[in-house]
Copies of this chain bind each other. A is one copy, B any other.
Amino acid sequence: DASLPIKCIVNGDRQRPISCLQKNDDVFVPFALVERYFEISGKVETDKKSGNSEKVFNWQHSYAKLSLPKLPYEPDGIFMSFDNYNVEVRDRVKCISAMEGVPLSSQWTTGGGHFYPIQVAQFGLSHYSKNISEEAPRKTVIANFQQRGSWAVPAVESDEQRSFVWNFTLPESVSGPDVVLDEFPDSGDPYIIFSVKFRTHGSVTLQLEVQDKKQITYELIYTCSNESIWAEGNRIFYGIGADCTNWISLVRDIYVDLVKGLTLGIKKINKKDKVRPNITRIRIIRMVLHGQGHLDKVVTQTTAHSELFYVAADWLVRHQVRQTGGWPISVKRKLGASELQPGWFSAMAQGQAMSTLTRAYRKSGSAAYLEAAVRALDLFGKSAAEGGITAVFLDKYVWYEEYPTKPPSFVLNGFIYALLGLYDVSLTATGEDQKRAHNLFADGVASLKALLPLFDTGSGSTYDLRHFTLKSLPNIARWDYHATHVTQLLVMNSIAPDEMFQSFAQRWSEYMSGKRAPHN
């Protein structure tokens, strides 16, 4: 009954035989071979569900988990399953800019980073969704400066802030004397919100006590500079703009601000290398001010989803180019033989921005958000060849291009994100705007129904149709993109019900556990 070694010859490769085992009539092959050959994964784990500490081997076809969307999809509801999405911790986010309040992307660039409108919108939509799914934040007011004389330092009335504010006058140098706010309770709240303006220059320093393996003190220094982020020893600096003489309201996640500083310059964080700090506890000890200026309302919060959502929506309003209604992307993007030049537009950026802006309008009632969302429709009337974002599949089916390459790339996930943005506008705008959005959405749904089968490999999905336009090999979607496809199809079935969407979603989800389309 013992197992005996037997040589395995794989597809006739006698040069590299594999050591297998034979036990009675059964041959056992090393999982390591199956793993690299079929690109699946597996590992020995304690079987948590068995109740005892038995070791089992867990064979996993897909490393990605399916994230089921909240259905029915509603234009003011959770966006897909973005309540589970955390944009800021992604490696490709260099930091959350203290100037703009939104993520600064390091993707596709070696320079100082760039604001990627898709990432900004997703940052907004994830916080919007968490604001629905999570409980309301606990807020702790550290200092409100509600009236003159309530603090040891002078308070003055501010017209812009419509509030009494703290008036401080100190040397600008961080090594000079300072003024301290040190009434922070030991709450562990990761968010701090405050408003500040300087006469010329200055900084706000947060001294942190961080429990990693040992206890270390770090400083987060928000200072008047156009540099986004830099670090000196245990000090991590965030620029709030070289001109810091206007009120700026900061909404900071101190955990994220710390981690981005600690991992600065590390290109790709290898999970196995444990470079990512394993912080178990973090607290603000004190806030230290330098320079001359005003400070108002310092609050710590368990979360700040609503605030960050509006930060993102406001960024989109501020950075939309009025003439085109687009958010130009400022980095080069290579896709195969094609290279998009700085200033390109993305249908996915337009769509994700529309989903963000319509939600901001629905929640706030502020017309500027809806106006921006409607302006975003304009680019859908312009082909990629004309600097727009649309392509047409064999002169028949319009496609909204995540990457407006020549020839077209027909990326699936970006197209569906664009459809969701159009859907949101079609249910939010009125009159001609509503009609325009609706027609663009309906045309896109027809294209999706026609072309979706071309993305089906019978055991997964392709990311795009570049194999068709370039006559090359298919670009197989890795499992996390494939899982996104499934989530998106479930949302599509919610807003444009069709048995086809349901059955593709079902089959594609089954591909994730190894099911395959039959052969003839």
State how many angstroms separate the Cβ of A32 from the closest Cβ of chain B: 7
**Are B57 and A8 in contact, with the CB atoms below 8 A?**
yes
Say whether A28 faces chain B, with CB atoms less than 8 Å apart.
yes
Say whether A363 faces chain B, with CB atoms less than 8 Å apart.
no
Contact with B along A480-520 (1 / 0, CB 8 A): 01000000000000000000100000010000011011111
Q: Could you tell me the distance between the alpha carbons of A513 and B16 in the complex, rounded to whole angstroms?
A: 14
Q: Could you tell me the distance between the alpha carbons of A467 and B475 in the complex, rounded to whole angstroms?
A: 19
**Contact residue among B7, B60, B457 (Cβ-Cβ distance under 8 Å from A457):** B457
**Are B471 and A449 in contact, with the CB atoms below 8 A?**
yes
Residues of chain A from 52 to 81 with CB closer than 8 A to chain B in the complex: 54-61
**Contact residue among B456, B467, B518, B519 (Cβ-Cβ distance under 8 Å from A467):** B456
Q: Could you tell me the distance between the alpha carbons of A472 and B28 in the complex, rounded to whole angstroms?
A: 37
**Are A8 and B56 in contact, with the CB atoms below 8 A?**
yes
Quick one: copies of this chain in the complex?
A: 2
Binds B, one of A37-45, A181-189, A307-315, A383-391: A37-45
Find the B residue at minimum CB distance from A43: B27
Q: Given A10-B59, A29-B28, A61-B11, are A456 and B471 neighbors across the interface (CB < 8 Å)?
A: no
Q: Could you tell me the distance between the alpha carbons of A472 and B499 in the complex, rounded to whole angstroms?
A: 11
Say whether A453 faces chain B, with CB atoms less than 8 Å apart.
yes
State how many angstroms separate the Cβ of A11 from the closest Cβ of chain B: 4
Say whether A337 faces chain B, with CB atoms less than 8 Å apart.
no
Q: Given A8-B57, A17-B56, A56-B17, are A28 and B26 neighbors across the interface (CB < 8 Å)?
A: no
Q: Could you tell me the distance between the alpha carbons of A90 and B14 in the complex, rounded to whole angstroms?
A: 33
State how many angstroms separate the Cβ of A102 from the closest Cβ of chain B: 26
**Are A3 and B3 in contact, with the CB atoms below 8 A?**
yes
Q: Could you tell me the distance between the alpha carbons of A137 and B60 in the complex, rounded to whole angstroms?
A: 59
Residues of chain A from 458 to 474 with CB closer than 8 A to chain B in the complex: 458-460, 462-463, 467-468, 471-474
Q: Given A20-B28, A30-B27, A31-B29, are A8 and B454 neighbors across the interface (CB < 8 Å)?
A: no
**Contact residue among B11, B21, B54, B476 (Cβ-Cβ distance under 8 Å from A514):** B11
**Are B456 and A454 in contact, with the CB atoms below 8 A?**
no
Q: Could you tell me the distance between the alpha carbons of A459 and B461 in the complex, rounded to whole angstroms?
A: 12
Q: Given A3-B21, A396-B394, A457-B459, are A520 and B476 neighbors across the interface (CB < 8 Å)?
A: yes
**Are B59 and A44 in contact, with the CB atoms below 8 A?**
no
State how many angstroms separate the Cβ of A63 from the closest Cβ of chain B: 11
Q: Could you tell me the distance between the alpha carbons of A60 and B10 in the complex, rounded to whole angstroms?
A: 7
**Are B471 and A453 in contact, with the CB atoms below 8 A?**
yes
**Contact residue among B2, B31, B476, B481 (Cβ-Cβ distance under 8 Å from A2):** B2
Q: Could you tell me the distance between the alpha carbons of A43 and B454 in the complex, rounded to whole angstroms?
A: 36
Say whether A34 faces chain B, with CB atoms less than 8 Å apart.
yes
Say whether A452 faces chain B, with CB atoms less than 8 Å apart.
yes
Say whether A49 faces chain B, with CB atoms less than 8 Å apart.
yes
Q: Given A28-B30, A396-B394, are A474 and B517 neighbors across the interface (CB < 8 Å)?
A: yes
State how many angstroms separate the Cβ of A3 from the closest Cβ of chain B: 4
Say whether A259 faces chain B, with CB atoms less than 8 Å apart.
no
Q: Given A7-B56, A27-B44, are A474 and B456 neighbors across the interface (CB < 8 Å)?
A: yes
State how many angstroms separate the Cβ of A277 from the closest Cβ of chain B: 29
**Are A59 and B519 in contact, with the CB atoms below 8 A?**
no
**Contact residue among B12, B20, B454 (Cβ-Cβ distance under 8 Å from A454):** B454
Find the B residue at minimum CB distance from A50: B14
- Taking CB atoms, residues of chain B closer than 8 Å to A59 are 8-11, 29
Find the B residue at minimum CB distance from A11: B513
**Contact residue among B11, B20, B54, B449 (Cβ-Cβ distance under 8 Å from A57):** B20
Say whether A23 faces chain B, with CB atoms less than 8 Å apart.
yes
Find the B residue at minimum CB distance from A21: B28
- Taking CB atoms, residues of chain B closer than 8 Å to A60 are 11
Find the B residue at minimum CB distance from A28: B28
Say whether A477 faces chain B, with CB atoms less than 8 Å apart.
yes
**Are B44 and A520 in contact, with the CB atoms below 8 A?**
no
**Are B519 and A476 in contact, with the CB atoms below 8 A?**
yes
> Can you give 19 A-B contacts (C-beta < 8 A)?
A3-B21, A6-B44, A11-B59, A22-B44, A22-B57, A26-B31, A29-B31, A29-B59, A394-B394, A394-B395, A395-B395, A395-B396, A452-B471, A453-B468, A457-B474, A458-B460, A473-B517, A476-B517, A476-B520
Given contacts A21-B21, A457-B459, 16 further A-B contacts (CB under 8 A): A2-B2, A3-B3, A7-B56, A7-B57, A8-B58, A11-B60, A20-B28, A37-B514, A453-B468, A454-B467, A456-B473, A458-B474, A463-B520, A475-B520, A477-B519, A478-B520
